[in-house]
Amino acid sequence: MPEQQPVHPTAHHPVHRVVEVPGGRIHCVEQGSGPLVLLVHGFPESWYSWRHQLPALADAGYRAVAIDVRGYGRSSAPAGVDAYRMLAHVADNTGVVAALGERTAVIVGHDWGSRIAADSALLRPDVFTAVGMLSVAYSPHGGPRPSEVFASMGGEEEFYVSYFQRPGRAEAEIEPDVRGWLAGMYTGLSGEENHGGLFFVPPGARMADRFPAGPLPAWLSEADLDVFAGEFERTGFTGALNRYRNMDRDWEDLAAWRGMPITQPSLFIGGAADASTTWLSDAIDAFPTTLPGLVSSHLLPDTGHWVQQEQPERVSGLLVDWLRTVAPVTA
């Protein structure tokens, strides 16, 4: 039988691979060739969140690589809660760049991936030459301990980050009906719904109790939901939720970077109908100070939290326009 030849990614052919990094293994989906653009998803998602951007960036002349963050998909899922601290995610991203044979990359993240991308750029400016942030605006480290801030929010109701803290608690709500829970979360934070109230959990209730009923949003097909649900049905949610359980550790680990801006060229894209954008409006207003290298900032109307999936062509176009200024493609 002839030896199978390796498959190389092209603009029309994505390739899955798992690369070794110091902290374990990271699953990557790669498409195209050219300057490296690392795409980092948020909660509760996967590399598949970038399914529209991979071919668009590849067609524009970039080597687009979407990862499964540790704890998700086919990437390593260490058992210890503290294995999901921000320093580990930054090390994973740095390790992926090296494993792909590159020395530098542009990094783009959404939701938690936005914060991971921002901190990757903050801690390793030698590796990450530009940073794009979707849905979650950058704010410098500092201020009170996060657990104290979250505990003070919501009055009698519990803020979702606090609800996620105790290992096993949120898992017990989510894992009996992964597909249904994801459908409610994706629908509830879409531009059509804008259910900011689902971030708060009344005493004795579940987060899902405030999820909207009804059809999936237009941007999410049943087949798309099957992909997301299939991954979490296999892996469970503990690895994903452990990111939230390290915010106080991050506050301690990153004390040396308190108040520091990100100086590399940057981009922000948010949804005007996203509660995260509303909560972080002060952070967006502070961009001239906190992101002195900001190239452009965009709030997309009638768009919720899942910006690159809700408005794929618009977001891909904005990314390509920005990339052409920060990482030009050479002929």
Note down pLDDT in tens along the chain; length 331 residues: 433 444 555 567 899 999 999 999 999 999 999 999 999 999 999 999 999 999 999 999 999 999 999 999 999 999 999 999 999 999 999 999 999 999 999 999 999 999 999 999 999 999 999 999 999 999 999 999 999 999 998 789 999 999 999 999 999 999 999 999 999 999 999 987 655 678 999 999 999 999 998 899 999 999 999 999 999 999 999 999 999 999 999 999 999 999 999 999 999 999 999 988 988 999 999 999 999 999 999 999 999 999 999 999 999 999 999 999 999 998 6
Cα separation of 142 and 145, whole Å? Answer: 8
Cα separation of 142 and 259, whole Å? Answer: 6
Dihedral-angle region of residue 283 (phi above 0 means left; psi in -120 to 50 means alpha; beta otherwise): alpha
pTM: 0.95
Query: Quick one: tokens of 266?
Result: 């940057």
3-class DSSP state for residue 156? coil
Q: List Cα–Cα distances, 55 to 29, 32, 330, in angstroms.
A: 11, 8, 19
- Please name the amino acid found at residue 253: D
* Strand stretches in the chain, DSSP E: 15-21, 24-31, 36-40, 63-67, 105-110, 128-134, 158-159, 200-201, 266-271, 294-300
CB of 208 closer than 8 Å to CB of 173:
yes
Cα separation of 309 and 271, whole Å? Answer: 11
Domain definitions of the chain by residue range: 15-326
Task: Kindly state which CATH superfamily the domain 15-326 is placed in.
Answer: Alpha/Beta hydrolase fold, catalytic domain (3.40.50.1820)
Name the residues annotated as catalytic: 111, 305
